[in-house]
């Protein structure tokens, strides 16, 4: 049986969609078929000396990949997901509308800022 190291996973709002091995990117349905057939195995390297097998589990009519290397019940494959790039956005203060300046001039007081 051949075994493949999973380095990263790709995911969206529905869950894991693909796995990244040192040699290729494989969609999750293919990985699940490989694991269930018993011909190919997948694992993650939690640290330099421990290999954690990736399992295919069924839940509510669908199958998903699961790996856990710390003994908790949490699916730690999500820890291998690519992080979304973040970008800082500068916000500019809103300018007062001409109408609010007119109201402030007519009725007095400081115009309300939005």
- The structural domains of the chain, with segments of one domain joined by +, span 2-80
Cβ-based neighbour number of residue 109 at 10 Å? 8
pTM, two decimal places: 0.64
Q: Tell me what pLDDT residue 25 has.
A: 92
Query: What is the pLDDT at residue 26?
Result: 92
Quote the pLDDT of residue 114.
Answer: 46
Q: What is the pLDDT of residue 30?
A: 92
Residues of the chain with confidence (pLDDT) below 70: 47-48, 83-86, 109-114
Which among 74, 65, 32, 68 is positioned nearest to 52, based on CA atoms?
A: 68
C-alpha R_g of the chain:
26
Q: Tokens 């998903």 sit at which residue? A: 64
- Reference 68, options 81, 79, 59, 82; nearest CA is 79
CA–CA separation, 18 and 12 (whole Å): 10
Q: Are strands 40-47 and 2-5 parallel, antiparallel or unpaired?
A: parallel
At residue 112, the pLDDT reads 54
């Amino acid at each position: 049986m051949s075994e493949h190291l999973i380095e990263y996973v790709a995911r969206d709002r529905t869950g894991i969609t693909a796995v990244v091995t040192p040699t290729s990117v494989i969609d999750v349905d293919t990985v699940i078929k490989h694991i269930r057939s018993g011909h190919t195995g997948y694992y993650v390297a939690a640290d330099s000396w421990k290999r954690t097998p990736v399992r295919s589990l069924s839940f509510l009519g669908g199958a998903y990949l699961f790996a856990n290397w710390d003994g908790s019940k949490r699916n730690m494959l999500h820890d291998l997901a690519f992080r979304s790039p973040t970008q800082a956005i500068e916000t500019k203060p809103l300018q007062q509308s001409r109408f609010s300046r007119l109201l402030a001039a007519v009725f007095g007081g400081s115009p309300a800022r939005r």
